[in-house]
A and B are shown apart, each in its own frame.
Chain A
Amino acid sequence: MNFKLKIWRQYDRNSKGKFAVYNVTDISPDMSFLEMLDAVNRNLAKKSEDVIAFDHDCREGICGSCGLYIDGRAHGPQRGVTTCELRMRHFKDGGTIIVEPWHSKAFPVIKDLVVDRTAFERIIQAGGYISVDTGSAPEASSLPVPKANAEEAMDAAACIGCGACVAACKNSSAMLFMSAKVSQLALLPQGDPERKRRVQKMVETMDREGFGLCSNTYACEQECPKKISVSHIARMNREFIRAKLF
Chain B
Amino acid sequence: MVLNSKIPEGPIQQKWDNHRFNIKLVNAANKRKYTVIVVGTGLAGSSAAASLAELGYNVISLCYHESPRRAHSIAAQGGINAPKNYKNDGDSIWRLFYDTVKGGDYRAREANVYRLAQVSGNIIDQCVAQGVPFGREYGGLLGNRSFGGAQVSRTFYARGQTGQQLLLGAYGAFSRQINSGRIKFYGRREMLDLILIENQARGIVARNLETGALESYVADAVILATGGYGNTFYLATMAKYSNATAIWKAHKKGALFGNPCFTQIHPTCIPLSSDYQSKLTLMSESLRNDGRIWVPKKSGDVRNPKDIPEDERDYYLERMYPSFGNLVPRDVASRRAKEMCDKGFGVGSTGLAVYLDFADTINRNGKPWVEEKYGNLFDMYHEITAENAYQTPMRIYPAVHYTMGGLWVDYNLMTTIPGLYTLGEANFSDHGANRLGASALMQGLADGYFIIPYTIGDYLASNKFPAVKTDHISFKESGKKIDETINQLLSIKGKRTVDELHKRLGKVMYDYCGMARNEAGLKKALELIPQLREEFYKDVIVPGTADSFNPELEKAVRALDYFEIAELMVTDALHREESCGGHLREEYQTEDGEAKRNDDKYSYVAAWEYKGNGLKWDLNKEPLTFEYVKPSTRSYK
Contact = CB atoms under 8 A, between A and B. Distances in A.
Interface of A: 11-12, 28, 30-32, 34-35, 38-39, 41-42, 44-51, 53, 55-65, 78, 80-81, 85-87, 89, 110-111, 114, 116-118, 120-121, 124-141, 143-147, 150-151, 153-154, 157-158, 160-161, 184-185, 188, 190-191
Closest 6 CB pairs of A and B: A144-B140, A129-B172, A137-B129, A154-B133, A137-B125, A134-B51
A34 B549 contact: no
A55 B604 CA distance: 42
A150 B137 CA distance: 10
Contact of B541 (A48, A64, A65, A144): A48
A34 B541 contact: no
B380 interface: yes
Interface string B451-479: 00100000000000000000000000000
Interface in B212-260: 239-242
B176 interface: yes
A134 B136 CA distance: 23
Contacts of A188: 131, 133
Contact of B65 (A57, A86, A138, A160): A57
Contacts of B131: 129-130, 153, 184-185, 188, 190-191
B533 to A, nearest CB: 20
B24 interface: no
Interface stretch (B423-431, B492-500, B580-588): B492-500
B279 A129 contact: no
B495 A46 contact: yes
Contacts of B210: 110-111
Nearest to A146: B140
A87 B129 contact: no
B134 interface: yes
Contacts, number: 226
B415 to A, nearest CB: 23
B278 A141 contact: no
Given A45-B552, A132-B130, A161-B70, 12 more contacts: A48-B493, A57-B72, A59-B239, A114-B549, A125-B176, A129-B130, A129-B176, A134-B450, A135-B449, A144-B139, A150-B133, A158-B164
A38 B276 contact: yes
B548 A59 contact: no
Contact of B130 (A114, A126, A130): A130
Contacts of A60: 75, 279, 281-282, 380
B549 A125 contact: no
Interface of B: 47, 50-51, 54, 65-67, 69-72, 74-75, 84, 86, 121-122, 124-142, 158-159, 161, 164-165, 168, 171-173, 175-176, 178-179, 187, 210, 239-242, 273-274, 276-279, 281-282, 379-380, 383-386, 449-450, 453, 493, 495, 497-500, 541-544, 548-552
Given A48-B493, A118-B66, A120-B67, A53 B549 contact: yes
A28 B281 CA distance: 18
Contacts of A127: 179
Please indicate which of the listed interface residues A34, A35, A130 has the most CB atoms of chain B within 10 Å of its own CB. A130
Given A51-B543, A188-B133, A137 B70 contact: no
B549 A150 contact: no
A134 B449 contact: yes
B386 A87 contact: yes
A110 to B, nearest CB: 6
A211 to B, nearest CB: 16
A133 B66 CA distance: 25
A63 B70 contact: yes
Contacts of B273: 30
Contacts of A114: 549
A137 B140 contact: no
B70 A65 contact: yes
B167 to A, nearest CB: 10
A89 B173 CA distance: 41
Contacts of B543: 44-45, 47-51
Contacts of B386: 30, 87, 89
B278 A34 contact: yes
A63 B65 CA distance: 10
B74 A62 contact: yes
B544 A42 contact: no
A111 B210 CA distance: 9
Contacts of B134: 150
Given A39-B276, A65-B70, A150-B133, A125 B541 contact: no
A230 to B, nearest CB: 19
B142 A59 contact: no
Contacts of A61: 380
A143 B128 contact: yes
B573 to A, nearest CB: 28
A127 B176 CA distance: 7
5 contacts: A51-B551, A64-B69, A135-B449, A150-B136, A160-B164
B47 A134 contact: yes
B70 A64 contact: yes
A46 B541 contact: yes
Contact of A117 (B67, B138, B453, B551): B67
Nearest to A65: B70
Nearest to A156: B133
Contact of A154 (B67, B159, B450): B159
Given A39-B276, A129-B130, A51 B66 contact: no
Contact of A80 (B127, B379, B493, B551): B379
B126 A134 contact: yes
B395 to A, nearest CB: 13
Given A111-B549, A134-B54, A140-B124, A154 B158 contact: yes
Given A50-B543, A87-B386, A145-B140, A130 B66 contact: no
A109 to B, nearest CB: 11
